Amino acid sequence: MTGAWSRRSVLALGAAALAARLPGARAEGAREIKAHGISAFDDLSYPADFRHFAYVNPDAPKGGLFSTIPSTRAFNQTFLTFNSLNSFILKGDGAHGMELTFAALMTRAHDEPDAMYGLAAQSVAISADRTVYRFAMRKEACFHDGTPLTAQDAAFSLNILKEKGHPIIRQQMRDVVGAEAADEATLVVTFTPKRGRDVPLFVAGLPIFSKAYYDTQAFEESTLAVPLGSGPYKVARVDVGRVIEFERVADWWGAELPVSRGRFNFERVRFEYYRDRDAAFVGFTSRNYLYREEFTARVWATRYDFPAVRDGRVKRETLPDRTASGAQGWFINMRRAQFKDARVREALIHAFDFEWTNKTIMYGAYARTHSPFQNSDMMAEGPPSDDELKLLEPFRGRVPEEVFGTPFVPPVADGSGQDRALLRRASQLLNDAGFVVKNRKRRLPNGDIFRIEFLLDEPSFEPHHMPYIKNLGALGIEATLRIVDPVQYRARLDDFDFDMTVVRFGMSATPGDGLRTYFSSQAAAIKGSQNLSGIADPVLDELIDHIIAADSRAALTAACRAFDRVFRAGRYWVPQWYRDNHPIAYWDVFGHPPELPRYLSGVGTPDLWWTKPGAAADAEK
């Protein structure tokens, strides 16, 4: 999941020339450009009169049940439980699927890098300086109780999210000056002159709440009260911490819009929660839920031999993942004094034997992650290009010299589990930083024992931690693993109360202002932010500004690669692994598009899938 439009050279072309790049767009005098969609670089593939997205099945049958366990999380959600139906604030543990109950101004097209097309808003008029967006609301849009969805509701929603939403939302809306309703049909959103390129896209995808509903409800409170929605589904069943189920709104106002045809095909969508991954797997084999994406290589390699797989009742597929894989690793909390020295953090990288872990625990299914832009052309490789050097040269002397050469990659171990050469190098780095061994214990410069606590919320990663902890022990470091319940885990992360923890985050095809939530100095001090390592480097802040200001995809790519070089030189994390495919299994009652769109994160469940004709009754079994 962003550019400063005021810096973009495209503005010199004038409104009429810019409008020519948007299919169906037109210039309103010299002041506005009106279009049926928006994108970071004004490159829309679909015309104003398109019928449906190319990757959907517009004739997909409606009906049946889709049931799964949570496999992604956002804002205040956890994988293992929920206790709130408010998924857009910091308090509580939000239920998955609540986004299905709300409409947004616009909807993403997953066969384009970042384009969005009208849902609750049928069009948008953009001022020539890109600071004012005037959304024209659809007359037919309404909430589930039949009351109209108006510009007043949209303005209320954006303003309340900016003021009281989750810190991640508030941070990404910092360049939103405000929203107001010019009338019931016109929403006016004003941005700062140097707003991030992706900020309007983020705003257009936020949920629209009922202003009248929240006149009598406190938005910022965790609650199990079902909010009034306007989306394709509504909450049908809540079993706190165990199950949440949604039912399709039969007469939903948006069903026949171009952005909706072929989507939202299931009559019911259900999320099942398990506190243990092994128990969750057994639940799938027992048909307690119908769809599963497998994230544990050992399970995928050894446990999918139960009778339903052998006789074809359960199908297995491996679908390609062509998106930027993002970052997964042990993030090191530099707010703790023992981690402030980059040499110490590099020693921790050397102590992890990925090759042994991949071979022994993960059946060779993964590749090593090097970069937060892994699996994309935004990842830095080899010496910097001329365009990268132009961005990096002003920082010479402020960044390590390696930034101007080949970017840092984690060392390759011999696969023995305890590569002596790498451990010797790690020990030397620690000694150089003043972390010496005394009485067989690694000591901090102040004489205290060097201790590390790894924090987890469930035990499936325990086998990956233990050999790493053993290697740290060989260096004299007292490392332990603490597994806490999901609620405590979320609270400790929000408060930055940890030493090291495993996190994975994805990366947009058009990175921008969202990078600030992970890597900026500002985010390092915001409770609940995604900057878990506490990164506060003015150089990275400036490079994020360059990414935001990029006026073309080529310039964006160069800026991301320059950022990547500096980030990797900081040794802020112990990179783990990634895979470029999605191993999935499901009971054979579903159909899905034969080819998934290029920029889709995941495999399109439940959005693009459907129940096969004749299988709806079978899906209930």
Please write the tens of the pLDDT for every residue from 526-560. 999 999 999 999 999 999 999 999 989 999 999 99
Contact 426, 352 (CB under 8 A): no
Least confident of 23-27, 269-273, 536-540: 23-27
* pLDDT class of 26 with cuts at 50, 70, 90: low
The domain of 523 spans 327-578
For the chain, the residue count is 621
pLDDT of res. 558:
98
* pLDDT class of 589 with cuts at 50, 70, 90: very high
Does residue 498 surpass a pLDDT of 70?
yes
The strand ranges marked E within 160-289 are: 176-183, 186-191, 233-239, 243-248, 268-272
pLDDT of res. 27:
53
Query: Measured between alpha carbons, how far is 15 from 131 in angstroms, rounded to an integer?
Result: 14
pLDDT of res. 322:
86
Does residue 621 surpass a pLDDT of 60?
no
Which of 183, 214, 245 represents a domain boundary (last residue)? Answer: 214
14 and 135 in one domain?
yes
The backbone region for 550, taken as left when phi is positive above 0, alpha when psi lies in -120 to 50, beta otherwise, is beta
336 and 208 in one domain?
no
* pLDDT class of 252 with cuts at 50, 70, 90: very high
331 and 203 in one domain?
no
335 and 206 in one domain?
no
Contact 456, 489 (CB under 8 A): yes
pLDDT of res. 159:
98
Which of 168, 193, 214 represents a domain boundary (last residue)? Answer: 214
Q: Are strands 291-293 and 314-320 parallel, antiparallel or unpaired?
A: unpaired
Asked if residue 14 belongs to a domain, the reply is: yes
pLDDT of res. 615:
82
Contact 590, 612 (CB under 8 A): yes
Mean pLDDT, to the nearest integer, of 15-19? 32
pTM: 0.83
Report the chain's terminal Cα–Cα distance, integer Å: 38
Asked if residue 399 belongs to a domain, the reply is: yes
Residue where the block lists tokens 């924090």: 455
Asked if residue 351 belongs to a domain, the reply is: yes
For the stretch 568-582, pLDDT in tens is 999 999 999 999 899
For the stretch 292-304, pLDDT in tens is 999 989 999 999 9
More confident residue, 119 or 296: 119
Asked if residue 69 belongs to a domain, the reply is: no
CB 233: neighbour CB atoms within 10 A? 25
Residues 6+ apart with CB under 8 A from 349: 410, 411, 571, 574, 575
Asked if residue 271 belongs to a domain, the reply is: no
Select from 117, 121, 153 the least CA-distant residue to 139.
121
* pLDDT class of 25 with cuts at 50, 70, 90: low
Q: What percent of the chain has pLDDT over 70?
A: 94
pLDDT of res. 350:
98
Q: Which helix (H) or strand (E) holds 314?
A: strand 314-320
Mean pLDDT, to the nearest integer, of 169-194? 96
Mean pLDDT, to the nearest integer, of 457-469? 94
Asked if residue 504 belongs to a domain, the reply is: yes
Q: Which helix (H) or strand (E) holds 342?
A: helix 342-350
* pLDDT class of 1 with cuts at 50, 70, 90: very low
Select from 597, 593, 600, 584 the least CA-distant residue to 69.
584
Does residue 50 surpass a pLDDT of 90?
yes
Contact 56, 259 (CB under 8 A): no
549 and 419 in one domain?
yes
pLDDT of res. 57:
98
Mean pLDDT, to the nearest integer, of 264-271? 98
Does residue 24 surpass a pLDDT of 80?
no
Residues 6+ apart with CB under 8 A from 228: 143, 144, 145, 209, 210, 213
Asked if residue 436 belongs to a domain, the reply is: yes
Query: Measured between alpha carbons, how far is 291 from 611 in angstroms, rounded to an integer?
Result: 12
Please state, in angstroms and as integers, the Cα–Cα distance from residue 468 to each residue in 123, 167, 451, 462, following that order. 54, 33, 14, 10
How many domains would you assign to the chain?
2
CATH, residue 362: 3.10.105.10
**In the predicted model, what is the mean pLDDT of the chain?**
93
Alpha carbon dihedral 598, 602, 606, 610, in 10-degree steps, equals 50
For the stretch 188-221, pLDDT in tens is 999 999 888 899 999 999 999 999 999 999 999 9
Does residue 258 surpass a pLDDT of 70?
yes
For the stretch 351-372, pLDDT in tens is 999 999 999 999 999 999 999 9
Asked if residue 568 belongs to a domain, the reply is: yes
Which of 145, 179, 214 represents a domain boundary (last residue)? Answer: 214
CATH, residue 141: 3.40.190.10
φ, ψ of residue 511 in degrees (nearest 5): -60, 150
410 and 548 in one domain?
yes
